[in-house]
Chain A
Amino acid sequence: MYNLDKVIPGIIILILFLTTPIWLNLANLKALPPKDPHIGQARMCTTCHVSEKGPDEAVTSEKCVADTQYMRGYHMKLLDEWREKKIRKGEVYYKGLDGKSYVMSLQRTCLKCHSDYLNFCDRCHKFTGVQLDCFNCHIAGKEEKK
């Protein structure tokens, strides 16, 4: 082979670049959070949610405005919809899953139960790198971020 003095460093740089995720993770192997964001959190949730199978089972969602599966994927859409309806159209109530009406308010409805920013929102958001700016204005509840 020719020009080995340039080709070998080139190959090494290429491999380092392509394997970025592998070596960036090496330092933090132990620090990974648990697989299920709800483990360890169930006790707190059961103060609002009713679970038939005991505290460590996935909570049923009788007290939230929508079911857990939906909320996990689409809570941001719901919040967006609420903002639209309340701020721009002046509506006040949202008809929830259980047929009850809820006041469309982040602080007065959602945060009533989900008041622990660090152990609720941040658990997933920090892990997945989804940045949110809700709490640039709203008050985040008891353990306010920074």
Chain B
Amino acid sequence: MSVRLNDFLFSILLIAVLIVIPLLGVGVLGLKYFFGVIIPYLALAVFIGGLIYRIVDWARSPQPFKITTTSGQQKSLPWIKRSRLESPANNLEVALRMFFEVFFFRSLFRNLRADLEGKRLLYGSAKWLWLGALLFHLGFLIIILRHLRFFVFPVPEFVNILEKIDGFFQIGFPTLYLSDLLILLGLAFLLLRRLFDAKINYISYASDYFPLLLIISIVVTGILMRVAIKPDIFAIKHYAISLATFRPVIPEAPISVLFYVHLFLVSSLAVYFPFSKLVHMVGIFFSPTRNLPNDNRMKRHVNPWDYPVKYTTYSEWQEKFRDVMEEAGIPIDEEWGKEIQKQA
């Protein structure tokens, strides 16, 4: 089976363009203010505005049915053992399940693989996706929290502690951050999986490759700065704080153009985020299969679309056709007949 490469190559091309833009813009044209202040602010505005737009859009969508995904015994009679996480019966249990989902990707842990052995379809356990995804997401979170050291003065103590733990083994110099290593491992796995697993390759598009490649290039430019290029961190911190306090200043001290590439890629990610699959960051909380308790048999769920429908009851129908029915010898239900007279 041949590998579909077009979407992958197209994404590479896009990334190359995103790298060349700041290289030319800052390196050749010297547009530091544009790439250092205007673009990041715009990106932040689009990011937050876009996320809120998506949230409002989801919050406006009615939920006609309760469609909780369950994989455990629901709450019923007191002597039947139930599963609180697999079939949450109230909002607290929903929140608990959501917590484990968000922080530990519990449902991915159930991921299966399907293989054909001759004519037989075999299912097996497949934890690699769970592991790769977890490495990537946790690595990303730790890196972002560590980056607070650029934006906040004085550096919060928890950032210092995080940094110590992350560099605990003091491998190499400057010390290797474990989160950098783990995020690269995770990202590499997630990318190679799309390229070389035929079943996944077949359903992978540019919208899958592009975000992976974008994040990979952000991480790689970051690591390059740390181990090789050594931009002026002192100047960068002054600049980053000036952004965070809305008094933007581009430092006079020269800052490596690689920093502007890093920054432009991050800005691109921020702009792309709300309008792509990455928005699952907030989307997960709006998934009706996850955010509803499975209490169908305890509480009536009223479809918000419901409106008063005009319908005809049997007794009304019977009244209407009484004569014809009597003529034809069809039995009349007098109880209902009385009912309708009472109402009238």
**Do the beta carbons of B156 and A131 come within 8 Å of each other?**
no
**Do the beta carbons of B60 and A1 come within 8 Å of each other?**
yes
Of all chain B residues, the one with the shortest Cβ separation from A18 is B48
In the bound complex, CA of A133 to CA of B83 (Å): 50
Main secondary structure on B side of the interface with A: helix
Q: Write out the residue numbers on chain B whose beta carbons fall within 8 Å of the beta carbon of A87.
A: none
Q: Write out the residue numbers on chain A whose beta carbons fall within 8 Å of the beta carbon of B174.
A: 76
List residues of B (148-177) whose CB comes within 8 Å of A's CBs: 148-156, 159-160, 163-164, 173-174
Q: Write out the residue numbers on chain A whose beta carbons fall within 8 Å of the beta carbon of B282.
A: 10, 14
A25: CB under 8 A from chain B?
yes
Q: Write out the residue numbers on chain B whose beta carbons fall within 8 Å of the beta carbon of A128.
A: 149-150, 155, 233-234, 237
Which of the 9-residue segments B50-58, B109-117, B313-321 touches chain A?
Answer: B50-58
**Do the beta carbons of B149 and A74 come within 8 Å of each other?**
no
Bitwise interface map of A from 4 to 25 toward B, beta carbon under 8 Å scored 1, else 0 = 1001001100110010111011
A43: CB under 8 A from chain B?
no
Given A3-B59, A128-B149, A131-B163, verify A25-B285 contact (CB < 8 Å).
Answer: no
How many B residues are at the interface, by size bracket?
35 or more
Point out the residue from A3, A28, A77, A129 that lies within 8 Å of B160, measured CB to CB: A129
Q: Write out the residue numbers on chain A whose beta carbons fall within 8 Å of the beta carbon of B152.
A: 20-21, 24-25
Main secondary structure on A side of the interface with B: helix
B304: CB under 8 A from chain A?
yes
B14: CB under 8 A from chain A?
no
Given A22-B245, A129-B163, verify A77-B237 contact (CB < 8 Å).
Answer: no
In the bound complex, CA of A128 to CA of B153 (Å): 8
B339: CB under 8 A from chain A?
no
Point out the residue from B233, B241, B285 that lies within 8 Å of A10, measured CB to CB: B285
**Do the beta carbons of A129 and B149 come within 8 Å of each other?**
yes
**Do the beta carbons of B149 and A25 come within 8 Å of each other?**
no
A35: CB under 8 A from chain B?
yes
In the bound complex, CA of A118 to CA of B56 (Å): 51
Q: Write out the residue numbers on chain B whose beta carbons fall within 8 Å of the beta carbon of A40.
A: none
**Do the beta carbons of B244 and A22 come within 8 Å of each other?**
yes
Of all chain A residues, the one with the shortest Cβ separation from B155 is A129
Pull 5 A–B residue pairs with CB atoms less than 8 Å apart, ordered by A: A1-B56, A3-B59, A21-B148, A25-B245, A29-B245
10 further A-B contacts with Cβ under 8 Å, apart from A29-B245, A32-B153, are A1-B56, A2-B59, A3-B59, A4-B59, A21-B151, A35-B235, A35-B251, A74-B230, A76-B173, A128-B233
User: 10 smallest A-B Cβ distances: which pairs?
Assistant: A129-B149, A21-B151, A129-B155, A73-B230, A21-B244, A1-B59, A7-B59, A24-B152, A80-B173, A128-B233
